Amino acid sequence: MSEITLDIPFDIVGFDLDGTLLDTHRDLSEAVNHALREGGYRPVPVEEIEGLIGGGAKRMLARAIERQGGDMAREAFRPLYKSLLAYYEAHNTVHTRPYPGVEAVLDDLAARGIAVAVVTNKFEGFATNILTTLGLADRFGTIIGGDSLGRDEDGNYRAKPMPDPLVEARRRCGGGRSAFVGDSSYDVGAARAAEVPVIVAGYGYCDRAPAELGGDAAVERFADIPAALARLGG
């Protein structure tokens, strides 16, 4: 854990949720596999589910079905996606837990007067409910989900890798110099587009090797984030 004497010259730190703040892969695995079974597909082994995480539940399920050569027609996919969401809503904190060091680091940042935010592609309702159940929701100045900002003119959610949610998180937290922490190309892409320094959570569900994601720094433990923030600001 970092010392309070470290100089962290950021006013706001944003965090991705899945694979960054929380280890969610087992509950996501159960939800995806519930939908796959309903559609007559093979379940994905839990040790392979991390490779599907990123971009939200719809993309997870789509990847799992595509890998089996399944039917991605809207009329075939939509009921399975709805089944996934319903199952996950009822079972999203069975195994999900914060990574080691999360509460201590959040305490450290709060002691420095640094605001923290969650920016995830998970639906805002799910993210808020999970963080509330785990006793963490009140620590964050805002929780922005993949559906929080609505859709763009093309009908796509204004979510990562768009910069919109990071820019909105900064606004909601009062403005100032901000940094972001995430574990995927969606996170790095959003941070780059928002012109925000980004730390790669190398312990998470990285869709590429951490060194290949193009972050400004990488950490292998959540506890190392304050020191990485201090180096970024130097």
Cα 104–chain centre separation: 19
Q: Does the annotation mark 16 as catalytic?
A: yes
Q: Specify the DSSP class assigned to residue 43.
A: P
User: Mind giving me the DSSP string for 102-152?
Assistant: HHHHHHHHHHTT-EEEEE-SS-HHHHHHHHHHTT-GGG-SEEE-TTTT-B-
Per-residue 3-state assignment (H helix, E strand, C coil) for 72-101: CCHHHHHHHHHHHHHHHHHCCCCCCEECCC
Residues 157 and 150: beta-carbon distance below 8 Å: yes
Q: Are strands 217-219 and 97-98 parallel, antiparallel or unpaired?
A: unpaired
Q: Report the distance separating Cα 14 and Cα 2, nearest Å.
A: 18
Which of 7, 11, 16, 224 is an active site residue?
Answer: 16
Q: How far is CA 134 from CA 30, 45, 97, 98, 171, in A?
A: 19, 26, 7, 8, 26
CB atoms under 10 Å from CB of 156, counted, come to: 9
Instruction: Give the active site residues.
Output: 16
